Amino acid sequence: MIRPTLSTSAGTLGVSSRGGAAPPPPSQLAAREIYERIAANIGKVMQGQTGAVRRLLAALAGGGHVLLEDFPGTGKTTLAKALARSIDARFKRVQFTPDLLPSDILGVSIFNQRDQEFRFHEGPIFTNILLADEINRASPRTQSALLEAMGENQVSVEGERHQLAELFFVIATQNPVEFRGTYPLPEAQMDRFAMQFTLGYIPPEEEALLLTAQQHVHPLDSLRPCATLAEVVSLKQAVESVLVSAELKRYIVDLVGGTRKAAGVQLGASPRASLALMKSAQALSLFEGLDFVTPDQIQELAVPVIAHRVVMDPQARFSGASGRGVVEELLKKTPVPA
Ligand SMILES: Nc1ncnc2c1ncn2[C@@H]1O[C@H](COP(=O)(O)OP(=O)(O)O)[C@@H](O)[C@H]1O
Ligand SMILES: [Mg+2]
Q: Is 74 in the pocket of ligand 1 (CB under 6 A)?
A: yes
Q: In which band, very low, low, confident or very high, does the pLDDT at 57 lie, cut at 50, 70 and 90?
A: very high
Residue-averaged pLDDT of the chain: 89
CA-nearest residue for atom 20, ligand 1, is: 73
The preferred substitution site among 41, 71, 74 for testing ligand 1, maximizing ligand atoms within 8 Å of CB, is 74
CA-nearest residue for atom 5, ligand 1, is: 46
Q: Which residues surround ligand 2, an ion (CB under 5 A)?
A: 76-77
Q: Is 48 in the pocket of ligand 1 (CB under 6 A)?
A: yes
pLDDT in tens, 260-310: 999 999 999 999 999 999 999 999 999 999 999 999 999 999 999 999 999
Q: Which of the residue ranges 16-20, 24-28, 202-206 would you say has the lowest mean pLDDT?
A: 16-20
Nearest to 227 by CA among 25, 40, 10: 40
Could you give the residue range(s) of every CATH 3.40.50.300 domain in the chain? 24-239
CA separation for the pair 210, 219 (Å, rounded): 10
The preferred substitution site among 78, 85, 201, 209 for testing ligand 1, maximizing ligand atoms within 8 Å of CB, is 78
Q: In which band, very low, low, confident or very high, does the pLDDT at 27 lie, cut at 50, 70 and 90?
A: confident
pTM: predicted TM-score of the whole model, two decimal places: 0.90
pLDDT in tens, 201-246: 999 999 999 999 999 999 999 999 999 999 999 999 999 999 999 9
Q: Is 72 in the pocket of ligand 1 (CB under 6 A)?
A: yes
Q: Is 73 in the pocket of ligand 1 (CB under 6 A)?
A: yes
Looking at residue 182, what is its pLDDT?
61
CA-nearest residue for atom 14, ligand 1, is: 73
Rounded to the nearest whole angstrom, what is the distance from the C-alpha of residue 140 to the centroid of ligand 1?
28
Could you tell me the fold of the domain covering 24-239? Answer: Rossmann fold (3.40.50)
Could you give the residue range(s) of every CATH 1.10.8.80 domain in the chain? 242-338
CATH dotted code for 242-338 = 1.10.8.80
CA separation for the pair 282, 280 (Å, rounded): 5
CA-nearest residue for atom 26, ligand 1, is: 75
Q: Is 210 in the pocket of ligand 1 (CB under 6 A)?
A: yes
Looking at residue 50, what is its pLDDT?
96
Rounded to the nearest whole angstrom, what is the distance from the C-alpha of residue 130 to the centroid of ligand 2?
13
Q: Is 46 in the pocket of ligand 1 (CB under 6 A)?
A: yes
Neighbours of 325 (CB within 10 A): 17
Which is higher by pLDDT, 163 or 180? 163
Q: Is 202 in the pocket of ligand 1 (CB under 6 A)?
A: yes
Q: In which band, very low, low, confident or very high, does the pLDDT at 5 lie, cut at 50, 70 and 90?
A: very low
CA-nearest residue for atom 8, ligand 1, is: 75
Q: In which band, very low, low, confident or very high, does the pLDDT at 180 lie, cut at 50, 70 and 90?
A: low
Q: Is 77 in the pocket of ligand 1 (CB under 6 A)?
A: yes
Q: Is 326 in the pocket of ligand 1 (CB under 6 A)?
A: no
Q: Which of the residue ranges 2-11, 40-49, 78-87, 193-202 would you say has the lowest mean pLDDT?
A: 2-11
Q: Is 47 in the pocket of ligand 1 (CB under 6 A)?
A: yes
